[in-house]
């Protein structure tokens, strides 16, 4: 029997915008969860997904992808790579799995929302496959993380993290809730599939795959780059939507969603990808700096696509281009100083050779961030490691939950980064966070950062140890310096190392 | 003018094309792209785990060309397991995949 080509039947088969007879159209697709802009039917009729796939094709291709991922994993298990990879690489994996595994579950809900409440049949089709994709991503990464439990109980945070009040978990949940869990189908399509997936997941799932291949972790490299092939397809949900919004007079609404989604996503990946690529990766295995990855994937690739949709660059673009030189360096110091508040051992990544690399990639690093590490190194060499562990919690951004940082030696204007709303003071990392808050204060005002929870009396006893327990970190799970401070003594006369 | 201010005008490059997970099929696709875009320079950046293929403005890869190179039937969706990302917009059909820009700069 000769099968029809997909293109012979697809347009007819996908046309499922039937006229409802049991309920009104508005009840079938409530604006609040479907299309808050109430774009006309004629506009929606223009939606044409560019990356079409049938269910039969989908199943065949996905089966092939999974067969490849698990076959490589089985083969790699025989190489004893994990046993010999070293703590730094283990930390890369622990951080990735903790932040990503259950975030994939959030994406399932988002795809499900678009599959049900998308106004265009093609959008619903794409999102149905997207939902199946995200189930695959969650299951596969949990499987890989579970296999690694034998190396450290910290791998358990692949499953545990997002159910805790650990500060990184609060940050992750807050971002995911805002960008794709607590949005209507249209805004989700823009913020999740366009800003998050077309833009930033490339860096974590392809850029990091390149570094993983260099590091010899063929299994992890193969896993995450395979995942990104799904993203590459279902991320195309957003593009046709943006085009029809621009064409039909909804450019301002689309632009605002991109501007908000992009910035929230950027902060998330700065913490997740920026620190890993520039500090966690063993020096000899690095392929590019975080800034270079950003220039490849975001500045060159994403920015060009954004403009081709008929949109403009986000209004804060100049500030963004400056920020990629600095913010993640502050986050790295945060990871390291507050290492006992995270679920992996933190590599400092600032041995003399690494500092040379950082200075070459970020001219001026030694005179700014390097000065802080100078003092930390001196304290370690003097045996005063207790001085490198803060005894209190930091001031964090009321919006993005991350410690407020600014480049050492640069002027800072905190006045412009605060506001009072209904009697409460809010502090922001930058004017961009403040701008997003101002767009919808009621959406964000009640959010409680870890510090807010501390001040509200939720953390008992109200001290640092109480906070560690509140964050769900038992003593064996709390992070340490990943190399037992060896980096502070590199290139110097052998001295007794302080054990942590 | 600072670099940031220059950037705000937007990028001037019109490079489009796939980012392919490295392997035998990726090498075949790259060769097919060279054949299917004979009047264009095809730039390939090898990042070990992935190959970034760049063509100015439009990049096409045709099923018939891939079949000729593989010497076996090939379905366009067989490219998906190695298509990790792409620059530009995409048009995926049964006979070809095209990467393109609506507005060249």
Cross-chain Cβ contact A304/B13 below 8 Å:
yes
Cross-chain Cβ contact B48/A232 below 8 Å:
no
Task: Name the residue in chain B with its Cα closest to that of A55.
Answer: B77
pLDDT reported for residue A75: 87
| pLDDT for residue A313 is more than 80 | yes
pLDDT reported for residue B11: 53
Measured between alpha carbons, how far is A162 from A164 in angstroms, rounded to an integer?
5
Minimal CA separation from B3 to chain A, in Å: 9
Per-residue pLDDT reduced to its tens digit, A56-93: 999 999 999 999 999 999 888 878 899 989 999 999 99
| pLDDT for residue B2 is more than 50 | no
- Pick left, alpha or beta for residue A331 (phi over 0 → left; psi -120 to 50 → alpha; otherwise beta): alpha
| Distance of alpha carbon A197 from the chain centroid | 10
Tokens 């690494």 sit at which residue? A354
What is the value of pTM for the model shown? 0.94
A18 in a structural domain: no
Domain tally for chain A? 1
Cross-chain Cβ contact A232/B91 below 8 Å:
no
Cross-chain Cβ contact B85/A228 below 8 Å:
yes
A32 in a structural domain: no
- What CATH number is given to the structural domain containing A391? 1.10.620.20
A25 in a structural domain: no
pLDDT class for B4, splitting at 50, 70, 90? very low
Mean pLDDT of all residues in B75-95: 95
Cross-chain Cβ contact A304/B48 below 8 Å:
no
Per-residue pLDDT reduced to its tens digit, A219-274: 999 999 999 999 999 999 999 999 999 999 999 999 999 999 999 999 999 999 99
Residues of A in contact with B83 (CB under 8 A): 229, 232-233
Share of chain B above pLDDT 90, in %: 82
Interface confidence, given as ipTM, is 0.90
B48: nearest CB among A50, A205, A214: A214
Cross-chain Cβ contact B15/A226 below 8 Å:
no
CATH topology of domain B13-95: Phenol Hydroxylase P2 Protein (3.90.56)
Instruction: Give A208-211 contacts, CB < 8 A, sequence gap 24+.
Output: A208/A92, A208/A96, A208/A273, A208/A276, A208/A277, A209/B49, A209/B50, A209/B84, A210/A287, A210/A288, A210/B47, A210/B48, A210/B49, A210/B50, A211/A277, A211/A281, A211/A285, A211/A286, A211/A287
Edge-to-edge, what's the strand order for the sheet holding B58-62?
A: B58-62, B96-100, B89-92
A43 in a structural domain: no
Identify the CA nearest to A317 among candidates B103, B3, B86, B14.
B3
Residues of B in contact with A48 (CB under 8 A): none
Residue range of the domain that includes A65: 55-489
For residue B77, the 8-state DSSP code is G
Cross-chain Cβ contact B84/A64 below 8 Å:
no
Main-chain dihedrals φ then ψ at residue A96, nearest 5 degrees: -60, -50
A162 cis-preceded (ω within 30 degrees of 0): no
Residues of B in contact with A64 (CB under 8 A): 81
Side-chain half-sphere exposure of A44, counting CA atoms within 13 A: 19
Rg (CA), chain A: 24
Cross-chain Cβ contact A321/B48 below 8 Å:
no
Spell out which chain B residues touch chain A, with contact meaning CB-CB distance below 8 angstroms: 3-5, 7-8, 10-11, 13-15, 19, 21, 47-50, 52, 75, 77-78, 80-94, 101-103, 105
Task: Name the residue in chain A with its Cα closest to that of B79.
Answer: A61
pLDDT class for B7, splitting at 50, 70, 90? very low
pLDDT reported for residue A457: 97
A370 in a structural domain: yes
Minimal CA separation from A65 to chain B, in Å: 6
A380 in a structural domain: yes
For residue B6, the 8-state DSSP code is H
Mean pLDDT of all residues in A360-380: 97
A12 in a structural domain: no
Per-residue pLDDT reduced to its tens digit, A322-348: 999 999 999 999 999 999 999 999 999
Identify the CA nearest to A131 among candidates A108, A97, A148, A150.
A108
| pLDDT for residue A429 is more than 90 | yes
Tokens 């499987």 sit at which residue? A143
**A481 bridge partner residues:** A346
Identify the CA nearest to A141 among candidates A222, A75, A35, A223.
A223
Tokens, residue B24: 């035998």
Identify the CA nearest to A227 among candidates A134, A131, A159, A145.
A134
Mean pLDDT (chain A) is 93
A308, A317, A322, A324: best mutation site toward chain B, by most B Cβ within 10 Å?
A308
A405 reaches B (C-beta below 8 A):
no
A249 reaches B (C-beta below 8 A):
no
A159 in a structural domain: yes
Tokens 């700014």 sit at which residue? A368
A64 reaches B (C-beta below 8 A):
yes
Tokens, residue A415: 């006045």
- B/e letters for A359-376, b = 16+ CB within 10 Å, e = fewer, are eebbeebeebbbeebeeb
Cross-chain Cβ contact A300/B11 below 8 Å:
yes
Task: Name the residue in chain A with its Cα closest to that of B2.
Answer: A318
Taking the domains of chain B in order of start, what are their residue ranges?
13-95
A321 reaches B (C-beta below 8 A):
yes
Distance set, CA A128 to CA A66, A237, A269, A372, A498 (Å): 18, 11, 26, 49, 54
Measured between alpha carbons, how far is A278 from A324 in angstroms, rounded to an integer?
12
Minimal CA separation from A317 to chain B, in Å: 7
Per-residue pLDDT reduced to its tens digit, A26-49: 999 999 999 999 999 999 999 999
Worst-scoring range by mean pLDDT, A202-211, A225-234, A339-348, A454-463?
Answer: A202-211
Residues of A in contact with B7 (CB under 8 A): 299, 317-318, 321
A213 reaches B (C-beta below 8 A):
yes
Per-residue pLDDT reduced to its tens digit, A371-405: 999 999 999 999 999 999 988 889 999 999 999 99
| pLDDT for residue B3 is more than 50 | no
């Amino acid at each position: 029997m000769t099968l029809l080509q997909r293109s012979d039947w697809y347009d007819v088969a996908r046309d499922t915008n039937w006229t409802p007879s049991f309920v009104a159209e508005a009840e079938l697709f409530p604006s609040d969860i479907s299309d808050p802009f109430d774009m006309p039917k004629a506009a929606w009729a223009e939606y044409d997904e560019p990356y079409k796939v049938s269910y039969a094709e989908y199943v065949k291709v996905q089966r092939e992808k999974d067969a490849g991922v698990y076959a490589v994993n089985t083969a790699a298990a025989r190489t004893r790579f994990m046993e010999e990879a070293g703590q730094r690489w283990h930390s890369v994996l622990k951080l990735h799995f903790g932040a990503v595994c259950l975030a994939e579950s959030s994406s399932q809900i988002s795809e499900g929302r678009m599959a049900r409440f998308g106004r265009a049949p093609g959008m619903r089709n794409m999102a149905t496959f997207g939902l199946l994709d995200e189930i695959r991503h969650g299951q596969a990464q949990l499987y890989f993380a579970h296999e690694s439990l034998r190396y450290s109980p910290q791998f358990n945070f692949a499953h545990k993290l997002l159910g805790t009040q650990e500060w990184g978990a609060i940050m992750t949940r807050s971002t995911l809730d805002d960008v794709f869990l607590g949005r209507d189908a249209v805004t989700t399509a823009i913020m999740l599939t366009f800003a998050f997936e077309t833009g930033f997941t490339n860096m974590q799932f392809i850029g990091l795959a390149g570094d993983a291949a260099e590091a010899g972790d063929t299994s992890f490299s193969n896993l995450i780059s395979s995942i990104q092939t799904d993203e590459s397809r279902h991320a195309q949900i957003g593009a046709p939507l943006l085009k029809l919004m621009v064409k039909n007079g909804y450019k301002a609404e689309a632009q605002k969603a991109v501007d908000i989604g992009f910035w929230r996503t950027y902060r998330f990946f700065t913490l997740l990808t920026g620190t890993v690529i520039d500090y966690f990766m063993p020096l000899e295995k690095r392929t590019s700096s975080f800034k270079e990855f950003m220039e490849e994937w975001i500045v060159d690739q994403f920015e060009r696509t954004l403009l081709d949709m008929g949109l403009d660059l986000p209004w804060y673009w100049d500030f963004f281009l400056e920020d990629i030189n600095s913010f993640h360096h502050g986050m790295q110091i945060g990871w390291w100083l507050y290492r006992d508040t995270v679920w992996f051992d933190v590599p400092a990544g600032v041995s003399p050779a690494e500092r040379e690399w950082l200075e070459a990639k970020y001219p001026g690093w030694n005179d700014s961030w390097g000065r802080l590490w100078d003092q930390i190194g001196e304290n370690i060499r003097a045996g005063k490691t207790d001085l490198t562990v803060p005894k209190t919690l930091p001031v964090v951004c009321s919006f993005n939950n991350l410690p407020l940082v600014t480049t050492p030696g640069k002027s800072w204007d905190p006045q412009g980064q605060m506001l009072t709303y209904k009697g409460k003071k809010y502090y922001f990392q930058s004017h961009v966070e403040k701008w997003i808050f101002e767009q919808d204060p009621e959406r964000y005002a009640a959010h409680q950062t870890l510090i807010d929870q501390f001040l509200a009396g939720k953390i008992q006893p109200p001290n640092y140890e109480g906070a560690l327990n509140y964050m769900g970190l038992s003593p064996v799970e709390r992070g340490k310096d990943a190399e037992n401070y060896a980096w502070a003594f590199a290139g110097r006369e052998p001295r007794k190392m302080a054990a942590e | 003018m600072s670099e940031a201010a220059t950037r705000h005008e937007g990028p001037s490059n019109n490079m489009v094309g796939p980012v392919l997970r490295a392997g035998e099929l990726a090498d075949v696709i790259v060769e097919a792209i060279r054949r299917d875009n004979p009047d264009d320079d095809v730039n390939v950046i090898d990042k070990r785990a992935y190959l970034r293929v760049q063509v100015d403005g439009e990049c096409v890869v045709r099923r018939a060309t891939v079949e000729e190179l593989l010497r076996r039937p090939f379905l366009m969706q067989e490219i998906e397991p190695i298509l990790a990302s792409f620059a530009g917009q995409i048009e995926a059909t049964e006979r070809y995949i095209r990467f393109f820009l609506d507005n060249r700069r």
